[in-house]
């Protein structure tokens, strides 16, 4: 049985069969993953440990680099930011970042944010939240800000939601013409890919079409991301210094048969796969792991692994502790206050209409959630409310989500 993260996964296959190929009676120089220590960077084919400088030089040799992430692990995103910074330092003005988390229809909004013509709050609301969800933004904020501040183009790689829903429900052959015209070239003939995805379900999907629906969506995502990446590589084909860095969930790049194989089918350029690999998991997070029987695949899961710990941002996600309802066209009204919450301790009450937080006007619920979300536990700031016709300002000391529940 292998441990596998839901969605992004951390699985690693060991090839071979002990019955047919007995192990050599020598110590392996190739470093069993169970012996890896946090912070080590392992070149999988040789077992050699790399320094960060050596990793950066290694990645620099490839025109296409994939990093497979666990979406809610802050350490994975630190590895990604390292790769982005190092590639930009070596190829200023020549690096493009591709993100699974952004969908094709939002490319214009992405470009506007990077150009500075769309502020971050608007970007998170109108682009990021509709593409990947608002709660995920803090994990990717530093990456997108670095891209913006350093002139790094960002490709919205992934498929539109309407196409995803149609493929999931009706298959590739049952689409109406207007949706079928938006399909990229589709390949469903990879038995390794299908077996790998099927293994995640075990016997739970037996007798249902759940696995088929899931498989179609994964293929659509992989092919759309590959098509977007390949179109970019074709546009910059005349410049050998161009680099493409792709961040995607681990199962979209692991073994190469998700996005990498499909990009290579279109534009056969050398590539490498870097995978953060969780070696330390907090006890209270181990329920996020699944036991999965993976098929034996004669492929390396990645070329380089960076051993990391695991930490999400839930412990730092602050709350105000109020229930909100609309009040007219412009304000938000507090309908209830949670016991022992930051709001109650600050003296906020049901019936208060929130006018501003930190001096920023609150015109709708999104304004409130966004401004509160900028804080960390222990931060303080003013909240101005309208109470019984009078303006009142209180100081709120923010606390983590879930406190007092």
Which domains does the chain carry? 2-308 (3.40.50.11550), 315-400 (2.30.42.10)
pLDDT averaged over the chain?
87
Predicted local confidence at residue 380, as pLDDT:
94
Q: How far apart are CA 360 and CA 182, in angstroms?
A: 41
Predicted local confidence at residue 202, as pLDDT:
63
Q: How far apart are CA 90 and CA 73, in angstroms?
A: 27
In the structure, what pLDDT confidence band is assigned to residue 299 with cuts at 50, 70 and 90?
confident
Give tens-digit pLDDT for 141-152.
Answer: 999 999 999 999
Q: What is the mean pLDDT of residues 87-106?
A: 97
Predicted local confidence at residue 287, as pLDDT:
66
Q: Using the predicted structure, report yes or no on whether residue 197 has a pLDDT greater than 90.
A: no
Give tens-digit pLDDT for 346-360.
Answer: 999 999 999 999 999
Predicted local confidence at residue 8, as pLDDT:
40
Q: Using the predicted structure, report yes or no on whether residue 261 has a pLDDT greater than 60.
A: yes
Burial tier of 43 (Cβ tally within 10 Å: 0-12, 13-18, 19+): middle
Give tens-digit pLDDT for 23-37.
Answer: 444 445 666 788 899
In the structure, what pLDDT confidence band is assigned to residue 266 with cuts at 50, 70 and 90?
very high
Predicted local confidence at residue 22, as pLDDT:
53
Predicted local confidence at residue 205, as pLDDT:
54
Q: Using the predicted structure, report yes or no on whether residue 167 has a pLDDT greater than 90.
A: yes
Predicted local confidence at residue 29, as pLDDT:
60
Predicted local confidence at residue 307, as pLDDT:
96
Q: How far apart are CA 104 and CA 249, in angstroms?
A: 17
- CB of 243 closer than 8 Å to CB of 87: yes
């Amino acid at each position: 049985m292998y441990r596998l993260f839901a969605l992004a996964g951390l699985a690693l296959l060991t090839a071979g069969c002990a019955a047919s190929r007995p192990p050599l009676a020598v110590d392996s120089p190739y470093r069993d993953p169970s012996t890896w220590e946090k912070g080590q960077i392992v070149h999988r084919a040789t077992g050699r440990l790399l320094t960060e400088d050596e990793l950066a030089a290694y990645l620099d040799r490839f025109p296409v680099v994939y990093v497979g992430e666990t979406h809610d692990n802050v350490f994975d995103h630190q590895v990604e930011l390292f790769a982005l910074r190092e590639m930009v330092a070596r190829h200023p003005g020549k690096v493009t970042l591709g993100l699974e988390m952004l969908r094709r229809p939002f490319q214009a909004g992405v470009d506007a944010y990077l150009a500075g013509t769309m502020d971050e709050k608007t970007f998170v609301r109108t682009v990021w939240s509709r593409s990947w969800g608002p709660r995920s933004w803090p994990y990717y904020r530093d990456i997108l800000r670095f891209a913006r501040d350093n002139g790094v183009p960002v490709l919205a790689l992934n498929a539109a939601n309407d196409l995803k829903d149609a493929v999931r429900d009706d298959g590739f052959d049952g689409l109406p013409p207007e949706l079928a015209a938006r399909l990229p070239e589709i390949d469903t003939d990879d038995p390794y890919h299908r077996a790998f995805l099927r293994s995640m379900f075990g016997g739970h999907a037996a007798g249902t079409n759940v696995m088929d629906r899931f498989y179609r969506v994964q293929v659509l995502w992989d092919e759309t991301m590959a098509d977007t990446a390949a179109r970019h590589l074709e546009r910059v084909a005349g410049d050998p210094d161009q680099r493409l860095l792709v961040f995607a969930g681990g199962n979209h790049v692991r073994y190469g048969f998700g996005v990498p194989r499909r990009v290579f089918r279109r534009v056969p350029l050398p590539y490498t796969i870097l995978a953060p690999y969780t070696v330390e998991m907090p006890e209270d997070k181990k329920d996020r792991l699944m036991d999965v029987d993976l098929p034996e695949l004669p492929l390396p899961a990645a070329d380089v692994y960076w051993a990391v710990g695991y930490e999400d941002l839930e412990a730092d996600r602050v709350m105000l502790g109020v229930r909100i309802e609309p009040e007219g066209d412009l304000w938000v009204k507090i309908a209830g206050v949670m016991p022992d919450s930051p709001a109650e301790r600050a003296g906020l009450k049901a019936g208060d209409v929130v006018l501003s937080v930190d001096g920023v006007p609150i015109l709708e619920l999104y304004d409130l959630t966004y401004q509160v979300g900028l804080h960390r536990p222990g931060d303080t700031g003013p909240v101005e409310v309208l109470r019984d016709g009078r303006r009142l300002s209180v100081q709120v000391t923010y606390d983590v989500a879930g406190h007092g529940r």
